[in-house]
Amino acid sequence: MIVSLQLKALFINFIYGFVLFFLSYINYLFIKKEATIVKVLITLLFMFDYAIVYLIIFYKLTSGIFHIFYLFLFIVGYYIGYLVKSKRVPLKIYNKLKEKIPKK
């Protein structure tokens, strides 16, 4: 595989993990007062859709070639998202988004 393609794939996996954390957190904020069965169904649908979009993007980018370090960067991106949310790493966009979410 070409090095530039590998770097693109690594970057996309990192960003996708980062975005997954925030989308799952927003999903949690919107469904936390729903019934348990509704929570499970909405979360399953969300994760299924997110996985399908990931597979489509990754298949188009690398023709379906997957390496274990892509998973590692995905997990690192998710963890960095967690650090940003817990305010260990400041991010202005996250703070603006947090102000717009209605509090119940």
Residue 63 region by backbone torsions, left for phi larger than 0, else alpha for psi between -120 and 50, else beta: left
Over the chain (104 residues), the average pLDDT of each successive run of 10 is: 83 90 86 87 92 89 83 88 76 67 64
pLDDT at residue 26 in the model: 85
pLDDT for residue 41? 93
Considering the entire predicted model, what is its pTM? 0.72
Residue where the block lists tokens 């957190």: 25
Q: What is the pLDDT of residue 9?
A: 86
pLDDT at 52: 93
CA torsion through residues 78, 79, 81, 82, sign: positive
